Every structure is written in structure tokens, then in C-alpha cells.
Structure 1
Amino acid sequence: MEDLKIQNVNLEISANLQSHKTEGFSSSKILVVRRGAPLRISLQLGGRPFNPQSDSLWIKVMLGRLYVVTRVTFPEKVSSSRWSACFDPRGLNLQKPSILLHSPASAAVGCYGLLLCASSPGGKTTSALSRFILLCNPWCREDAVYIPFEDQREEYIHNDSGLLFKGTSGNIVSRPWSYDQFEPGVLEACLNLLQVTPQHQKNQGEDYLNRNNPVYISRVVSAMINSEDDRGVLKGKWKGGYKDGVDPSRWTGSGDILTQWAASGYRPVKYGQCWVFAAVMCTVMRALGIPCRVVTNFNSAHDTNGNLVIEEFYSETGQKLERSADSIWNFHVWVECWMTRPDLGSGLDGWQVLDPTPQERSAGVFCCGPAPVAAVKERRVDLPFDVPFVCAAVNADVHAVIVSQGQVIRCSTDTERVGSLICTKAVGLQRLQNLTGDYKPVTSPTSTLSSRRSNMSATSTLSTGSSGGVSLLLSLDKAPVAGQPVLFTVKVINRQRVAKVMQVHLNAQVKEYNHSPSETLWENHGVLRLAPMEVKLIPQQIPPALSQRVGGDDLINLAVVLVDSSSHERVLASEEFNVAGPLLSIQVEDEDSVVRHKKQEATVTFSNTWAHPVSGMLSVAGAGLIQGKLHFRMLAVRPGSSASQRITFTPSKVGQKMLQASLLLSDTNSTIRGFQMLHVGAA
């Protein structure tokens, strides 16, 4: 009998990409599929057709030195817990058979080798070798990352752009970001990240076996995004200059960071801060098939001693002092990943907090999570995976302390400030979704405050204080805008039937979002006379020339201290706010008829609202729209004037895509941004 020979193996790339929801990876040199779903393989046999009575076909699946061998059988019930292979019964052609290779829903993530072997009665064997990449599968019910809603799978797996939220809860800044998970080289960098981990270098076989578990994968990735303990992707920096790297505020997407890291031989990219760490981790998790979203916690507490209390110190004239290792970041950004948690018991499945920003060590490594959001809400500080750390970040109390000559002269407690708003990008929409109720008990006053602040009007009260029968309220008259004075009002209420003379101290300091304030930007001092039961409004303003000094991610810490001239009692109110800059406008011609492979035109416009001329470098990018970036020099734009730049681009992928532009100003550290969402149709 003539020997059975494998003449050709066809991995049916187009059909498999479509059935496995991996069309975005079509530029990958290796087929990308998802576990728990059949992989179709077509064979061309040489010589004679397959004889079921005498011939055998075997498939060997290899991951590193681990492997499994399965015989190709005729259709039978498929097990979701083991590798198996069968002939496709539809139109079975024994000369050109199609095989369905079934991976278990708990198979390890990685790049696999595929060896097909054919044997006949003579004992001779022929073989053919191929490769494929296997990812997690949120479309498969048996997979630990299964998420039951299609719109969420599209948002948290397929969406390659999004919004990051920064600023303050009363003046939120929406920052466009390109996740780039489908851009050339990004998936390969994500898989290489798993290969250079300490766990893999120490014991490859054990690491491969553990890669079936999203809990393990997410924790490893959380550690590898920062470079504190390993050959991680990003080096963090929060102080000093960035001349030997890139200012974190200038990154516009994850692709440049991941491909630069891989091309450099896995040397850390300089530099990152919390939103960059989180956005890059989101890219890696989406690429690996684990649903992921970026989350911002406004007024995020960093509790260094674990007592769930943050102490803030002020001088008697309202200047904030740097006296505590604890801190409150105006915003902090982490990620949530969706998975089941059989290791922790019932009720803890779903969204899990992971924080790749290096703040505290967890089991000796700079990483955090996965901490179930449900456990944070229930304050289950008895649980592992850094649940207590996240609980403090969203629920710590704040003690505001006024000191004079080393003595505490006033202390007040705020139980609502920390975690004032927790949010992410809404599914399918370019706006925020309020998650505060997912982290805090429904009956908590903070959850009500969060809802109010997420829709805060320009005249909403920001801060209050009271002491000795005097109440103090501090409010912004409107959201601060660059080039305009910062207008605010101090409201003082005498609640006693006795006249009072009060010293008034106002102090505004520039601060970075994650540090205590630095120099004083503006101050004002005076005396206020209050009749019995009198209410007085004191309008104030910080001149526009001073507010323009607040650029990038800097904020203003504003504090008011009242001192009773008779009793010397003090009352403090304070708030931190950001100053919004201008935005770039993007107009796309024929916006409703953008299709793949057809050249399009757009215009980017900058309007100068400042009182001085500005110039800079304009960059335009868009995953699936532009290969790389376009750069243009923008010459000086006079106050009150506008400048426009016309660009052309040719979309390469279909679906919702983000075209984004950024203008790096020459004379400051500020970057002006803008974006436009486009729907790209098929050609």
C-alpha cells in the first residue's frame, strides 16, 4: 500500500481569524486564536487519501518543553477540559480532510508549536510543523474571563482607543489614549513580556502551566509594567526633569512604548506615571484576551502605615506643609480586569483591581492585585491580593491639622473626600461612567457626594469648615480656564449672637497631582468684621498671569484660614483644582463616508486663548488610521488668533477609530490635545 503523506498544511487563517474574533491581529506573522474554540486546519495529502481503517493522524501541541499528543478522530462529544482533534464531518474529503483542533477553555496563553503526523500500516510517518498564538476567550462560557455582554466584549477587548480621566472630580479632564493592541509588533511585545518575567526565567515549565489562570497572568503583568524588580516596560519618575527620556504627559498611546521596549532588548522605557502604567497594562491585557478597563480614583489615598487615616498639615496662614509620609493624589489611575475568583470563594467574581504603578510591595514585588472590587466595597481587609491597600485608597479618612510653632492648634476630620469619584470610560460612548457605587456601600454619604460631584455645576461648594460658631465655605464661581482669572468666593457665617473680628488668610500653591504643594502662587490677608448672625460673601480672584503658570498636570491648592481675634480659634477650608487649557479641533471631510484604503483629509485647528503668542510641534496619530505619526511645526499664534494644519490619512482597519492630535508648546511643558472618533467602513 502506498505511504500516506502530508503534502501541505493550511491553517485557514482568514476563516480562523473571523471565527475566533481575532481579525484585528491579521498583520501578525502567526495565526492568533482563542482557547475553548475550535481551530480549523486543512490538509492536502499526497499520493492516496486517508484510510480510516488503517491510517492514523496525530497532532502534537507544544508550549516550550510541555506538550500534549492527541489522535484525530471522527466527530465525538468535545471536552472543554482537554485537547482533542476530530475530522470536520461537513463535506469530508479524505484526500483533503479538514481537522478541528479543540483547545481546553483553561489552556495556557502563549505561542504554540503544532506538529501534524500521519502514519500508515507500513509504520512510516510524515510530519508538518506550524505555529499559532493562543489567547484567553471572553466569548467562551467555560473560560474564566467570560463576560456575558457583547458590547462589553467589544469595549474591553476590541476597542483600541479610549479616554483616561485626570484633573479633579470637580473639573475632569478627558485625555485621549490609543491602546494600539492591534498595531504591528504590539502583540509580539506582549507575549515577549511573559517570556522575560522572573517567573519564566526561574521555572519555564511551571510558568507555562500557571498561564492558564488569569489571576496569575494579571499579577505577573502588573509587576512587569513597571521596572522596579525586573526587566519591566516602564521606568517611573515623578520629580526632576525628563531630558534622558520622555515626559510622561507626552505619550499618546501604548504602541510606541511597548515596541520601543521590545526593540531595545527589554530595557525600561523612560518615563511613566500612573496613567501611563495603567494604559499600557490595559493594552497588554486586552491583547492577551482578558477584558480590561482603565479606572481613575479621584482623591486617591496612599496610606503608608495602614491605619486608614491620611494626615494633612497646614500653617496658621493656610500654607500646606509637607510633614506626613501619607498622601492624597488628586487622581490615581489603575485598571480593572474581569475574571472569576474560585480561589477566594463565592461572590468575588467580576472586576478586579490591578495597579501597575510602583507604590508598595506586594509579596516582595512592586505590584498590586487582583483585588476584587466586591471585596473592596465590603471592606474585606482580611483577604489577600492587596484588598486593604485598595480599601485605603478609596475610603481613608482625612485629618486636617493646623500647626503653629510645632503645636497642633486645630484638627478636623473629613470622611468624604477620599475616593470622591471613581470612574472609567462608558461602554461605546466618549464619556465617563461613574463606578463609585461599585467601590463604596450604597448607604455611604460618599456615594451621594460622588454622584453630585460627577455632575458638578460651576457654582457647587467645594469645601467647608466650622469652629467656634463660625462656618466657612469655599466655592469656585466657575471652572477655571487658562488665560482667565480664577474666580472664587469665601462665604463666612457667624452662627452666634455676638460680633466677631476675624483675621482672613488665603493661600494658593502650585502642586503636582501626586505631591504636596510647592511654592506659593498667590496669597491675600485681611481682617473681617462680622455682626451677630451675619453672613458675608468675599469675592476673590487669582490673576490670569498667575493661573497661566499652572501647566500640564499641575493643580492649585487653595486654602482659607479664619482666626478669631478674641478666642484665637481657627477654621480651615481647602480645595485643590486644575486649570483647563484650550483644546484642538479636528474636522474630517466627508466624515460619514470614511472607508478602508481610501485617502481622507482632515483639518486640525488651534485657537490661542492666552494673552501671549504660542508655538510648538503638532503631532497627529490614530491606530488603524495612520501608520506611525505625522509631525508639523506650528509657528507663533498670536493671542486671539487661530492656526490650522491640513492632513491626509488612509485608514487600514474598519470599525470605530480615534484620530488624535497633540500640540507640544515650545515655551512651557504644556500639551494641548484633541480627538475625533470616526467610523471606518469596509471598502
Structure 2
Amino acid sequence: MEPLNVVQTTFYVKENAKEHHTDQFDLVKADNPTPIFRRGGNIYMAIMFDREYDVETDVVRVRFGFGPKPNVIRGTRAVLAVRPKQKRFPDDPFQWGILLSRNDGNNSIVIEIRIPPNTQIGIWECSIQTNIAKKRESRHDYKIPEDIYVLFNPWCPDDGVYMENEEDRNEYVLNETGKIWCGTFKEPKGKHWIFGQFNDISLPGAVFLLEKSGLAPADRGSPVMVARAISAIINAVDEGGLLEGRWDGDYADGTSPHSWTGSAAIMDQYLRSGGTPVKYGQCWVYSAATVTVCRALGIPCRSTTNYVSAHDTNQSLTVDKYFDIFGNRIENGPEGDCTDSCWNFHVWNDVWMTRPDLPPGYGGWQIIDATPQEQSERVMRCGPASVAAVKKGEIGFLYDTPFVFSEVNADVVHFKEDEESDWGFTRLNINQYHVGRKLLTKKVGPTDDKAENDLWDVTLVYKNKEGTEAERLAVYNAVRGVPRAQALYEIPNKENEDVFFDLIDIDSIPFGQSFSVVVRIHNKAKENRTISAVLSASSVYYTGRAANDIKKSQGTFNIKPGNKETLQIHVTPEEYLEKLVDHGLIKIYAIATVKDTKQTWSEEDDFTLKKPDMQLTAPQSCVVGGIIFKNPLSIPLTECLYTVEGPGLHKPKTIRFRDVTPEEEVNIIETFVAKRTGDRRIVASFTSKQIQDLNASTSIKII
């Protein structure tokens, strides 16, 4: 008797996918569906032979292999023998298992396979080996032609990414759309984004990126190591990853970061080019692409925005800013080696997982950051850093916890040139409340298309309330582990401070309107005081880097005992419009010295010029939508383009648009052809040289 020949195999892809929560993938819905399973789950598979299967003499083995050199010891190879008398899987849930589910006697059998919950994720190969019992001289091998995707399983309690709450799983694994918070902590603005993790390009793209990351196949069962690899490969700095960053406003040879409406177009361009990094991204684009990759692979993931995010380059747990005797900011410090900065906002990602490498209590949300800021183990990556460790100031835990702690807790220190000082500078001010002003993510549940009612303030998840004893204890706990920081955390001497200064905050100013920088002064002393002061306004990139000076005023004056004075500079649209850069952010500084007592004071604030609202209309019974907004400026909008995208409705499309005349109301009509039924979301963005990133979203129901 000859061994069985395999004629055909069937994975029951769509039936298995429903049980594995992978039925939303376009690859599963295709005419020739791709097997996509989650580890920790069972799958059914039919095998058809060229003759009837004899349970006494026929030996059938199903073999799974992962990576270039599958190995049983490393967990990248499994050999499963069909044993007709076996009625249950092995007791150890972390072992592969196989059962004969049905034998109809018509040349085919159905088997049930259990995938362990710690299996490596990515593409597995499967083959079937047959021979006759006790006869070694003849054996047949059949390679199943389909690639089999195995993903993390947040539904499985034994998986490291298990998430108990169903609403959370729906949001952080299954939701294809969402918001990423930009703007300022005073005026948060949600940017609508289509993550599109179920797009036919997303899962192949995610696995391709994981291959390029160089993560060893044996390590791809660890969500900790996979998340760390993702944080590195989303940026293009080291491995030719997905996105190349640019922050200077010149995007002529690529796509502006403001123009993207979703991740699918980025993934598509990357794969079609054979892995050439896509131009261009900034932090919210890196974060959005990270959500897409993580959710495609099964890691629960969200975008989180930290407003006033510190970039502490010298590991002092402070952001140091230097000013000369005239009140001018000294970029990079007096020695040219201090590039500390505060980003107006910075977007990273939180991923949900256990941390078996850390003590109990440090699992749950972990911070990863794909934006290239600092090297970690000689590669541009960050995390996963335990949110619980960051909140407690436990900076000794892996990975990159000191850097993340500084992002939300660093103090801002101002130094001013001083000829009487031994080292040439005097500390003006230490601000304990400036950094980490607010941390936001999207609330679990529906997206708010018209307003920002879906934002969720999660600040207290990452840090204790500012000014509380717990907050200072966390800082001092971290300082103990950073010798360079200890000298900067002295308590400032307040004894000689008898003049009160107050810089009036500006929340936001509509594009095209004037604003004033105002400082109120109160002399509480019983003598005259002579005060030297400087006020300035400049445009800045959202990373905190200075762009253009807009206006500055300085002078010296006397103030009598008990008197109050107001200093201000008035800035008109004509003075600032041509000097703006991305996001329309403006930074103001105020510096003062009381000559009689040597009291020094400094403060800073930033605000954004508020963009006009844009509406996206799409009646539910219609396939025609409109983009509507008004130019608020008295000058034309030039170099205009808009992008429209909707999963199951509209592939990402970017269109050049004519110049928009001053104060013109614009109504752009787009037609959509639905490819999928159900609730669908459309996202549109509009950018120009003068105003970037007008963004809107709406949802429709396709029947």
C-alpha cells in the first residue's frame, strides 16, 4: 500500500475567521480568502486524499514552520501527528494540539488544531506528511500553498495582550477609525484618521515591516519585543522603515504630513516602492501608523497626546533654556550642546500587555514612541515603558522609562547671562507646572464628528496631580537615580521677591486677528523699584524650535511703592502672517529683573491661531459629499490640495485645488462608490501654504 496523497486542503477561512475575530480583514473577505487566525484559538481544517483514510495503517502529520530555519526548540516549528484515538488536547495550554474531528470515509477528514497562546506572530507555512505505519521506505509531502497569518489574541486570557473588557477590545483592536489630538492644551483639536488595519495592504505591510526590523523569529511571540521593534521600524532612521520625518515645512519632494487622512496610502506607497521610506511624517503620523500596525497584528493600541512634552537631551530631568543679557533666547545654550526643548504637543502610543520582565503591578498600558527623538540601544526607538512605572518615578525599569518620565514631569529652568556669576549665568526661574500639562486620548466609543466631546483626559494615569506631595515625591524619586539632575532641584530662594509679575495667558486667536502680549506688575515693597523687562513674540514649530521673530520690546522703568503697571506689545496680522510655520503656533517670552533687589522673573506661554472650521457633508441616502469651509484671511490661499478617504467607500485620493480668494466660501463636491455595506466613515483634509490641516469627518450607513 502506498502512503496517502493529499489532493486538496481547506481551512474554512471565513468560518474560522468569525471565531477568531478576524472576519473584518479584506484578505478574508476576498474571493480567494487568506487564512488569518489568532493564537490561543482552535481552527478546523479539511484534508482530501486520493483514497480513503485508514485509521490503523495511515500516518498523517501536520507540520507548521515559522521563519527561515524553523526549529522545535525555539518554538518556530510544530509537528502534529493525527492520532484517531486521542479525544482531548494536551493539558498544557501552551502546547500545540491536534484532534481528528471527523472521518466520513469519503477520502477526506476534518482535523481541529489548537494554536498555543505564546506562538510567534506573522506568516506560518503548513505542510502535510503521510506514510504507512511501521514502513519508513516511502513518504509523501504536500506543501499547502496558502500563507497562514497568526496574530496576537486579546480575547485569550493566556495571551500576553489579553484585554478583558469587550468595549475596550472593540476600540483598541477592532476600530478602524479614530482621532489623534493635536493643537494646544488650551485648545485641543482632534485630527480624524482612518487607521484601516483591515485594509488588504495593512497586514502584509505590518508583517513586512516586522521582517525589516530584524527581530529574531523566536522573539516574535513576545508582545514586549514586537512592540519595541514596531517603535523602531515605523521611522526610517535605522532600518529603512516606513516613514521619513521632516519638520521644516518644506515637503515639495513628498507629501505634507498634514495631507494624510489615513495609513493605507502610506502603506501602499511603501510596499509598491519595495520598502522605500515614505515622505513625510511627523509625530501624529508616526503614531497613527503605529496604531495601524499594532491593531493589524492584534496588539491593543491607542494614540496618546502629551501637551507640552519635554525633550530632555542631557538627562537632567529638566528642560534648560538660556537667555543673553538682552533677553534673547540662546538656541542650543552657551556651549552649543544643549538642545533641550518642549514640544507644544507630542503624540506617542500606548500598547496593552503583561510585563513578565518587570515586578507585578507594572503591566497594562505601556508607552512606545516611533517618532525618532533619542537612540535606545543605538537604535531610534522608545519603549515599551510601563505607565505605572512612569507615574511612580521608577526610572530603573525597562525600557526608556527615564526619557518618558521627563516628557511628562521635567521642570523648565530659565538661565540668564550674568557677568557676576562664576559660570556666567544665573538661574531665573524653575517652573514645575509647565511640562505635561494635559494628556489626552480618544474616549472608548463613537467618534464625535462635529466637536471634541470624545476626548478623554488621562493625565492622572501618567502623573500625579501637579503641586501635590505625590507628584513631587515621584520627581524626587526619579532625581535620586540621575546625579546630573540633583543640583538643579534646589528650592529657590524667595526672600527678596517683593515685586509680583503675571504673564496673561492667551488661549487662542482666530487666524487673521490681532493679539497682545500683556504682563501685569505689582510693586508690593515700601520703596521704589527699578525694573528692566523684555517681551517678545515669535513663531515656532510644534517641536518648540524657533522659526521667526515677530515682535520684541524692551526697556527700563520705575514703579512706586504699592503701584501696579501693565506692559504690553500689540501684534497685527500683517506682522505675523508671513512669519508663521506649520500649526500656526506662537511662543511668547517675558523676562524681568528688579535692579534694586536682584530679583529675577521669567515666564513663557504659547498659543495657536485658530483655524476655520471645515464641514464634511454626506447624506446617508446619497453617494455625493461636499467639503465646505471659509477662508478667514484677507489674502488668497495658495498651493491648495485636499485629500478624501473612506474604508469600504473611497481609496485615499489627493487632489490639487485652485487658489482660494480672500474670505471665499468653498464647497468641493466628491462622489463615492460604496464597496462595503454598514456604517462607514469618510475623512477629508485641506491644506494650503497659508493654513494647514483643515480636517473633518462624517459617517454614513451603506445598505
Give the TM interval when normalised to the shorter protein.
0.7 to 0.9
Paired position in structure 2 for 1:366: 380
CA 1:5–1:448: 2 relative to 1, 3 Å: same
- The one of 597, 608, 612 equivalent to 2:631 is 608
1:536 positional shift: 4.6
Instruction: Give the letter aligned to residue 57 of structure 1.
Output: V
CA contact (8 A) 1:480 1:579 kept: yes
Q: Do residues 34 (structure 1) and 57 (structure 2) align?
A: no
Paired position in structure 1 for 2:614: 584
Paired position in structure 2 for 1:178: 194
SS in 1 for 2:60: strand
Instruction: Give the letter aligned to residue 398 of structure 1.
Output: V
1:114 positional shift: 1.4
- The one of 222, 231, 244 equivalent to 2:231 is 222
Instruction: Give the letter aligned to residue 352 of structure 1.
Output: Q
Map 1:515-526; keep pairs closer than 5 Å. 515-525=544-554
1:36 positional shift: 0.8
SS in 1 for 2:80: strand
Deviates most, 183-192 or 254-263: 254-263
Map 1:328-477; keep pairs closer than 5 Å. 328-403=342-417, 407-408=424-425, 411-430=428-447, 431-441=454-464, 444-445=467-468, 468-476=497-505
User: What do residues 622-641 of structure 1 show as CA deviations (whole Å, max 9, x unaligned)?
Assistant: 233212315262443331x3
1:574 positional shift: 1.6
Q: Do residues 481 (structure 1) and 510 (structure 2) align?
A: yes
Paired position in structure 2 for 1:561: 591
Q: In the aligned structure 2, how far is the partner of 1:578 from the partner of 1:445?
A: 29
Q: In the aligned structure 1, how far is the partner of 2:199 from the partner of 2:570?
A: 48
Q: In the aligned structure 1, how far is the partner of 2:428 from the partner of 2:659?
A: 52
Q: In the aligned structure 2, how far is the partner of 1:630 from the partner of 1:299?
A: 32
Paired position in structure 2 for 1:55: 58
CA contact (8 A) 1:508 1:556 kept: yes
CA contact (8 A) 2:348 2:368 kept: yes
Paired position in structure 2 for 1:260: 269
CA contact (8 A) 1:660 1:673 kept: no
CA 1:369–1:124: 2 relative to 1, 3 Å: closer
User: What do residues 381-419 of structure 1 show as CA deviations (whole Å, max 9, x unaligned)?
Assistant: 222311111112211121112336794355111111111
Instruction: Give the letter aligned to residue 619 of structure 1.
Output: T
SS in 2 for 1:134: strand
- The one of 593, 614, 633 equivalent to 2:657 is 633
- The one of 197, 203, 212 equivalent to 1:196 is 212
Q: Do residues 105 (structure 1) and 135 (structure 2) align?
A: no
CA 1:447–1:542: 2 relative to 1, 3 Å: farther
Deviates most, 644-653 or 314-323: 314-323
1:59 positional shift: 0.8
Q: In the aligned structure 2, how far is the partner of 1:381 from the partner of 1:636?
A: 51
User: What do residues 226-262 of structure 1 show as CA deviations (whole Å, max 9, x unaligned)?
Assistant: 2222222222233473333333333332222222222
CA contact (8 A) 1:660 1:676 kept: yes
Paired position in structure 1 for 2:450: none
SS in 2 for 1:154: helix
User: What do residues 601-645 of structure 1 show as CA deviations (whole Å, max 9, x unaligned)?
Assistant: 211112111122325222211233212315262443331x31211
Paired position in structure 1 for 2:562: 533
Q: In the aligned structure 1, how far is the partner of 2:262 from the partner of 2:530?
A: 55
1:503 positional shift: 4.7
Paired position in structure 1 for 2:104: 93
CA 1:300–1:447: 2 relative to 1, 3 Å: farther
- The one of 692, 698, 703 equivalent to 1:671 is 692
CA 1:94–1:84: 2 relative to 1, 3 Å: farther
CA 1:328–1:429: 2 relative to 1, 3 Å: same
Q: In the aligned structure 2, how far is the partner of 1:341 from the partner of 1:282?
A: 20
CA 1:377–1:477: 2 relative to 1, 3 Å: closer
Paired position in structure 1 for 2:481: none
- The one of 70, 75, 87 equivalent to 2:80 is 70
CA 1:39–1:481: 2 relative to 1, 3 Å: same
CA 1:540–1:108: 2 relative to 1, 3 Å: same
| Structure 1 unmatched runs, 5+ | 200-206, 450-464, 594-598
Q: Report the TM-score, using the length of structure 2 for normalisation.
A: 0.85
CA 1:2–1:244: 2 relative to 1, 3 Å: closer
CA contact (8 A) 1:440 1:447 kept: no
CA 1:217–1:524: 2 relative to 1, 3 Å: same
- The one of 125, 131, 139 equivalent to 2:147 is 131
Q: In the aligned structure 2, how far is the partner of 1:380 from the partner of 1:566?
A: 44
CA 1:554–1:407: 2 relative to 1, 3 Å: farther
Q: In the aligned structure 1, how far is the partner of 2:154 from the partner of 2:228?
A: 18
SS in 2 for 1:173: strand
Q: Report the TM-score, using the length of structure 1 for normalisation.
A: 0.87
Deviates most, 235-244 or 411-420: 235-244
CA 1:169–1:472: 2 relative to 1, 3 Å: same
Paired position in structure 2 for 1:552: 582
Q: Do residues 319 (structure 1) and 328 (structure 2) align?
A: yes
1:494 positional shift: 2.4
How many residue pairs get matched? 647
SS in 2 for 1:505: strand
Q: In the aligned structure 2, how far is the partner of 1:388 from the partner of 1:675?
A: 37
Instruction: Give the letter aligned to residue 474 of structure 1.
Output: L
CA contact (8 A) 1:623 1:658 kept: yes
CA 1:477–1:128: 2 relative to 1, 3 Å: closer
Q: Do residues 278 (structure 1) and 302 (structure 2) align?
A: no
SS in 1 for 2:504: strand
Map 1:162-173; keep pairs closer than 5 Å. 162-173=178-189
CA contact (8 A) 2:464 2:471 kept: no
Q: In the aligned structure 1, how far is the partner of 2:633 from the partner of 2:515?
A: 14
User: What do residues 47-92 of structure 1 show as CA deviations (whole Å, max 9, x unaligned)?
Assistant: 43x3433433321112133132102244314542121111336xx6
Q: Could you tell me the percent identity over the aligned residues? A: 28
Paired position in structure 2 for 1:456: none
